[in-house]
Structure 1
Amino acid sequence: MNTHGVWAIYRFEMARSLRTIWQSVATPVITTSLYFVVFGGAIGSRISTVGGVGYGSFIVPGLIMLSLLTQSISNASIGIYFPKFTGTVFELLSAPVTAMEMVAGFVGAAATKSIVLGLLILATSALFVPLHVEHPLAMIAFLVLTSVTFSLFGFIIGIWANGFEQLSVVPALLVTPLTFLGGAFYSIDMLPQPWRTISLFNPVVYLISGFRWSFFGKGDVSIGLSLGVTAAFMVACLLAIAAIFRTGWRLKN
């Protein structure tokens, strides 16, 4: 494995984020604080607990997951789109690095930024509500697995996009609505039928439920099913990326 090549891509992407530290870190943290003020203050005053957990604490995993999904996709898609836009992607394709080494560099940097952001939001949340992580290792595992999976998905979007507008289409029109409808601010057990059953077709439900389980030891679906759905989506993204590099779709033509 060409570790020097992977490290060069990774370091370049991390340096790019440091140049936009306000946009990359401060903005999501401030936005999360506003969510606590609005949702925790307005709704929390009317809903004291959900499943035995205080409402303010209950929404923490959903808020982290909301930022994690959007930032993972954004970081990875922009990371690969700019080389396409400037034409330097051909230098990368002709460099002595394999496709998977290139993906490891871009996706690794995007996932790292998302994980750091998730931990910062977790620390910010502790300023507003009492927090106790019942399964810290599971929480870190879900944080890493989700960041890597959606960074892979963002990498695919960056290759697919033909313009800056398309980079924001999927996060804005698909991922964010699915997150809001996936139990980020409520338990799907609170929904009447048939909406609860319909919610089970939303893949984000399994991500939020598994992450919430790591905090409180309870979720809307089993932890095994949450892990299985997340892992299946990661495999699907890896297969799609392998097909893209094999055919050169949107990269070489």
Structure 2
Amino acid sequence: MNWYAIKAIYLFEMARAFRTLTQSIASPVLSTSLYFVVFGAAIGSRMGQVDGVSYGAFIIPGLIMLSLLSESISNASFGIYMPRWSGTIYEILSAPVSFVEVVIGYVGAATTKSIMVGALILLTARLFVDYEIQHPVWMLLFLFLTAVTFSMFGFIIGLWAEGFEKLQIIPLMVITPLTFLGGAFYSINMLPEFWQKVALLNPVVYLISGFRWSFYGVSDVNHYISLGMIVVFLFVCLGFIAWLFRTGYKLKQ
């Protein structure tokens, strides 16, 4: 394992994030804080409890997951797309570095930035809403695995995209709607029975449900099933990335 190469890629990506601190860190934290102000403090105080949890506290895991998914995809996709766009990707491909080391460097940096955003949002939420974390180890596990998995997914998008506009198609038109419909602001048990079954086809439901369970011990889906879904998606993304590097798709063209 070429740890020097991994470190070089990782530090380069982290340095880029800190050069654009306002866009990379401050912007998602500020925008999510507005959700806490509107839904948590203003509307939440006038709504009843959901599954025995105040509405303001209930939406915290969903909002963190919303930011985590979007930031993981954005950081990883932009990180690998820029070398493709500038042509410096060929320097990486010609270097004695395996695809595993390249993925660890880029995905590791994207994961770190996403977890930093998630942690800051969690701390910011305390200013507006009282909450508890009943299972902190599980919370960290869901946070880490989700960030890694969707950073890999973003890495795939960055290899697939042919322009800057395509980097935003899947996050804006697929991931964000699935997150809003995945129980970020409500429990799927509040839906009619037919739509509850339809909602279970949404993979984001399992992510939010498991993450919410780590906070309050309540969930729409068993947390072991949620964990299993994340692990399966992680290995699917890893296998697809391995295929991309093996075939050179969008890399050697």
State the TM bucket, normalised to the shorter chain: over 0.9
Task: Name the count of aligned residue pairs.
Answer: 253
How do 1:171-250 and structure 2 match up within 5 A? Answer: 171-250=171-250
Deviation at residue 42 of structure 1 after TM alignment = 4.7
The separation in 1 between residues aligned to 2:25 and 2:9, in whole angstroms, is 21
Deviations 1:95-147 (A, max 9, x none): 11100100000000000000011000000001111121000010001110000
Deviation at residue 41 of structure 1 after TM alignment = 4.1
Deviation at residue 32 of structure 1 after TM alignment = 1.1
The separation in 2 between residues aligned to 1:180 and 1:106, in whole angstroms, is 28
Report the AA paired with residue 151 of structure 1: S
SS in 1 for 2:12: helix
Q: What TM-score comes out, normalization by structure 2 length?
A: 0.99
SS in 1 for 2:169: helix
Counterpart position of 2:105: 105
Deviation at residue 47 of structure 1 after TM alignment = 2.0
Deviations 1:59-115 (A, max 9, x none): 000000000000000000000000000000000001111001000000000000000
Is the Cα contact below 8 Å between 2:139 and 2:214 reproduced in 1?
yes
Matched, 1:138 2:146: no
Q: What TM-score comes out, normalization by structure 1 length?
A: 0.99
Deviation at residue 183 of structure 1 after TM alignment = 0.1
Matched, 1:37 2:33: no
Deviation at residue 45 of structure 1 after TM alignment = 3.6
The separation in 1 between residues aligned to 2:29 and 2:103, in whole angstroms, is 28
Deviation at residue 58 of structure 1 after TM alignment = 0.4
The separation in 2 between residues aligned to 1:45 and 1:114, in whole angstroms, is 29
Deviation at residue 14 of structure 1 after TM alignment = 0.1
Counterpart position of 1:116: 116
Deviations 1:33-65 (A, max 9, x none): 110122124531442210000100000000000
The separation in 2 between residues aligned to 1:120 and 1:194, in whole angstroms, is 37
The separation in 1 between residues aligned to 2:199 and 2:96, in whole angstroms, is 46
Report the AA paired with residue 156 of structure 1: I
Where in structure 1 do 4 or more consecutive aligned residues deviate above 3 Å? none
Report the AA paired with residue 101 of structure 1: E
Counterpart position of 1:151: 151
The structure-2 alpha-carbon separation of the partners of 1:130 and 1:41, relative to structure 1 and needing over 3 Å to count, comes to: closer
Counterpart position of 2:76: 76
The separation in 1 between residues aligned to 2:236 and 2:99, in whole angstroms, is 16
SS in 2 for 1:44: helix
Report the AA paired with residue 213 of structure 1: W
The two structures, once aligned, show a CA RMSD in angstroms of 0.8
Q: Which residues of structure 1 form unaligned runs of 5+?
A: none
